A and B are shown apart, each in its own frame.
Chain A
Amino acid sequence: MLVLGMCPTLGTTTSALNGMGMGLATLVVLTLSNIVISAVARFIPDKVRIPSYIVIISAFVTIIQLLMQAFLPSLYETLGLFIPLIVVNCIVLGRAEAFANKNTVLDSACDGLGIGLGFTLSLTVIGLVREILGSGSFFGWNFLQGDGILVFVLAPGAFLVLGLLMALFNKLTQGRA
């Protein structure tokens, strides 16, 4: 489930709140672009499909970017480069291509919400694990004096935590099947 949209998954999950913020931003973009694309898909010639989708998606990303800059400046600073990069998040374009251009507006909105919530949940969980191990806090609440295992907040920790969580996920689903 996590193989798409890797870059933000690894890059923004230094804490649970950052991961959740990124997930919610993606959720909004995904839902809105799904709605618009499913509404206009009939009028777009097949050949210029992908460029048109990209323009629609990047319009919504720009809106989110400006809104976050105005109302959540600290989160905007932390996520930085990864907000404009929602445009090239494979999940958003993937859902537009695989679902929104074939289904009704309502279905596409639900699809966007569902996928977006799943993505937000995974980002929050990864962020939470990294935050607990790395800085000894829980959603910003410090339960530990001093530093945690710093490496988990840095780059290598992201790869390690995601790898271990995916192995755990595989283990659980295989056990059930």
Chain B
Amino acid sequence: MTILLILVFAIFVNNIVLSQFLGICPFLGVSKQVNTAVGMSLAVTFVMALATCVTWMLQNYVLVPLNMVYMQTVTFILVIAGLVQMVEIILKKISPALYQSLGIFLPLITTNCAVLGVALMVVQKQFTFGGETGMLNLGESVVFAIASAIGFGLAITLFAAIREQLETSNVPKPFKGIPIALITAGIMALAFMGFSGMV
């Protein structure tokens, strides 16, 4: 039950792109075509789940016992950067086909603030699900990360589909490019606001 609540919460109610403003750069950058958007969101899901798992353990088994929580930002970003590099190398060896399709997105993920954002969120914030307030445990954190990544994927894929249509439409000159994309995103965010209060 809790897991279901976390899924709904992170995918719809608190969509990471449209209500938390994380991962806007790839959201605007790689959303010109549906194909690349799907590839990017798969790569993000993979890295986000892995990174959150590792950083959660690091936080609770290393940083907290050693009283070094102030090193959080430094260690987390290094872990994420290392992890992305590792995933890239492993993927290249094990599954060249998958590497072909995800490869170009992987280096971009290090600077995707959504990954670091979610890793920090699960160890810092208190969440309330089904009347219980508290920190997430390891399993719930990973579910939260995967759900956030699905939310990211949903937003970016829908957005890419809309932008493919926008390409052919007649947009006033000052609005061409980023401005009209931002306004589209604003309207999507309005639609997602309808989910608020569900959990």
Contacts and interface: CB of A to CB of B under 8 A. Distances in A.
Looking at chain B's contact residues, is the secondary structure mostly helix, strand, loop, or mixed?
Answer: helix
A171 interface: yes
B186 A159 contact: yes
A163 B193 contact: no
B182 A88 contact: no
Interface residues of B, number: 44
Contacts of B110: 88
Interface residues of A, number: 42
Given A58-B74, A61-B73, A90 B25 contact: yes
Looking at chain A's contact residues, is the secondary structure mostly helix, strand, loop, or mixed?
Answer: helix
B179 A55 contact: no
B28 interface: yes
Interface in A147-173: 151, 154-160, 162-164, 166-168, 170-171
Contacts of B112: 88
Interface in A52-102: 54-55, 58-59, 61-62, 65-66, 81, 84-85, 87-90, 93
A7 B187 CA distance: 17
Interface string A21-35: 000000000000000
Interface of A: 2-4, 6-7, 10-11, 50-51, 54-55, 58-59, 61-62, 65-66, 81, 84-85, 87-90, 93, 151, 154-160, 162-164, 166-168, 170-171, 174
